Structure 1
Amino acid sequence: MKTKVAVAMEIGKPFELMEAELDGPKDFEVLVKWKVAGLCHSDLHISSGDMPATLPLVVGHEGSGIVEEVGPGVTRVKPGDHVVGSFIPGCGTCGACSRGMSNLCNEGWNGTTGFMADGRLPFKLPGGREAGGMTNLGTFAERAVVKEKSVVPVQEWIPFETAALVGCGVTTGYSSTINTAGVKAGDIVVVFGIGGLGANALQAAKLAGARYVIAIDTDKTKEDVAMKFGATHFFSDPAEAGPVVNELSWGEQADKAIITIGVADAAVTEAAFNLLGKRGVLVLVSMGAMDNYSVHIPGLFLCQFEKVIKGSLFGSANANYEIPDLLKLWDQKHIMLDELVSHRFTLDQVNEGYEMMETPGSGLLRGLIIHDD
């Protein structure tokens, strides 16, 4: 079958739109018609070269859709089911999954190559080249063949736009606060970067009962968004936040700091570290290139104050539990999802969407690709 796709063909170049040939699902695979896909900064890590990848690669790793066909051996879903893509598969049997770390599943390691379990690349591009889907999903395609373990079934009455959001951005931002940072009632929490991830870190901290939630973003136009999603204070400069955090904490500083900026930065990590008090926890959600040394802090205070620096992938979440759980919280109006969506684009406008994401003051919080029916 033929399907329209957006492909990362070369480092440093915009995504290219083209028509690809797609084979049907093999053993333990499903064919998904993607209805909605989310614009996430991780796709730019592919085109920028920050994240090593096998190119060409059909990009997009956040989305929702309908199962159209299942391959032999599939038992989890059936044709007609509504699903959310999980960019980490969660095999359930590897060492990581067996120890309750399904977000670090061994099957997620080929996410930037797109190879399927049998070693093939499912998309056939013009000119005879082949491509995989980013994180084995490739949601910037109208249709894709994905692993059965990479889809999470959801209720059919949930709008596709709402469902798509919990495939990456919401779960990563929310769960990095609850799971990785371990925010609890009474904490003072600082969130760096108020985009699609940071907004969800804010509302998670508020829901967890944080005493104060401090938002920091160099883009001053993000203040209204920050306050809407749960911030009690907003600053465009960490230096301005320091004295306020000290006063609010009675001199004890912040308990948790979560960094969700687009590209990891050593100066931001240091600023976050300095805002933390004794046994404070710094969670680094942001990523950068392999040579981006984004942690450069004095070991003296790390030891003497017993501060903790933790990385967070997918918010340390179990997709099979937390994707449905977040939708339940949305249904009960405990968290906001639809309010995250600021812009909608067609697949042809994918590069326009990412240009807006990279432009300060553009007003883009979370952009969605709405696929043609």
Structure 2
Amino acid sequence: MGVGGIGINAVQGAAHAGASHVIAVDPIAFKREKAMELGATHSYASIEEAAEFGRSVTNGQGADKALVTVGVLKGEHVAQAFEAIGKGGRVVITGLGDLTDVGIPINPSMLALFTKEIRGALFGDQNPSADMLKMLRLYQEGQIKLDELITKRYKLDDINQGYEDLHAGKNLRGVIIYD
């Protein structure tokens, strides 16, 4: 849920890990198209559409995992992802929002009755000393894409345009080139 700079790598990670259905969710068509190029098997503009599809291919159960990588996290995003997962499913949150916001509108009984889990993750829960070398090797072997994530390069003088493009959803990754 959310196919920006973090979400697009979650798509690649899920595909690399062997997920049979990698469902990307983003309201911006460009990002959904890039997700399909980089490992998603399906893409939808809303989590409701994605959850419906997920239930259709899991005999009504729902997704095993939902990763919330939206740019500005709100409790309702977590609740939507929580509704999309099935029994024993896990919602993983990497997005951040207003640190003063509290509350996630979910039925807490579903945590126990369906053994669902909500957890956070920072930097992919990786061990940099071991995982960075593994990711470098995967990149060198062509198993993960990094160059393809760069949507546009900007000169330092064009940094404001880079931010505008970021907020307009025109970039997965904008890169500043220092001359």
TM-score, normalising length: structure 2: 0.94
Matched length? 179
Structure number with the higher strand fraction is: 1
- Cα pair 1:264 1:292 within 8 Å, conserved: no
Q: Deviations over 1:144-190 (max 9, x none)?
A: xxxxxxxxxxxxxxxxxxxxxxxxxxxxxxxxxxxxxxxxxxxxxxx
1:285 to 94, 111, 114: 94
For the residue of structure 1 that corresponds to 2:144, the secondary structure is coil
Write the deviation string for residues 119-157 of structure 1: whole angstroms up to 9, x where unpaired: xxxxxxxxxxxxxxxxxxxxxxxxxxxxxxxxxxxxxxx
Q: Do residues 239 (structure 1) and 48 (structure 2) align? A: yes
Q: Shift in Å at residue 268 of structure 1?
A: 1.5
Gap change, CA 1:266 and 1:341, over 3 Å in 2: same
Offset, 1:223: 2.1
- Change over 3 Å in CA distance of 1:356–1:247 after alignment to 2: same
Q: Pick from 47, 53, 59: which aligns with 1:250?
A: 59
Match runs of 1:285-324 below 5 Å: 285-293=94-102, 295-324=104-133
Which structure dedicates a bigger proportion of its chain to helix? 2
Residue identity opposite 1:343 in structure 2: K
Structure 2: distance between partners of 1:230 and 1:293: 34
The alpha carbon displacement at 1:294 in A equals 6.0
Report the 3-state secondary structure (helix = DSSP H, G, I; strand = E; otherwise coil) of the residue aligned with 1:353.
helix
Q: 1:337: which partner in 2? A: 146
- Please provide the CA RMSD for this pair: 1.3
Gaps of 5+ in 1: 1-191
Contact 2:55 2:62 in 1 (8 A): yes
Over 4 Å off, 4+ runs? none
Distance between the aligned counterparts of 2:103 and 2:97, measured in 1?
8
User: Residues 67-78 of structure 1: matches in 2 within 5 Å?
Assistant: none
- Whole-Å Cα distance in 1 between the matches of residues 69 and 34 of structure 2? 15
Partner residue of 1:228? 37
The residue aligned with 1:370 is 177
Structure 1 pair 270–325 and aligned structure 2 pair: CA distance change class (3 A): same
Letter in 2 for 1:295: I
Q: Which amino acid aligns with 1:197?
A: I
- 2:162 aligned residue: 353
Between the aligned partners of 2:22 and 2:117, the Cα distance in structure 1 is: 19
CA distance in 2 between partners of 1:294 and 1:332 (Å): 43
Asked whether the equivalents of residues 79 and 104 of structure 2 are also in contact (C-alpha less than 8 Å), the reply is yes
What SS does the corresponding residue of 2:124 show, helix, strand or coil?
helix
